Amino acid sequence: MKYSVLGYFIGEGFSNVFKNKKSTGASLMIMCATMIIFGIFLILGENINHFVDEVEAEQGIQVFVKNEATQEQIDELRRKNKSY
């Protein structure tokens, strides 16, 4: 009688899962815990990146001009600021 190697391995795998219930349960719990921890760190990393992007987008500059400044000086400052 000739068995399929793949079928044999699948059959053995399922039979061992039911024979070794404690080991299977422990393995599943460890894998779930690992995925949850990885997910938490992934979410934290993405939130930090989003926060940094938001802070970068809100950056601005404020210029205070003395009352004695002429309109030409104000225009010159505006032109210099736009070039940066």
**Who contacts 81 (Cβ-Cβ below 8 Å, separation ≥6)?**
61, 63
Copy the structure tokens of residue 20.
Answer: 């070794």
Average pLDDT, the chain: 89
Over residues 42-66, the pLDDT tens digits come to 999 999 999 999 998 888 777 788 8
- The predicted structure's pLDDT at residue 63: 77
- The predicted structure's pLDDT at residue 84: 61
Range in 35-39, 46-50, 75-79 the model is least confident about: 75-79
- The predicted structure's pLDDT at residue 54: 92
* pTM more than 0.95: no
**pLDDT class of 79 with cuts at 50, 70, 90:** confident
- Parse the chain into domains and list their residue ranges: 5-59
Which DSSP state fits 68? T
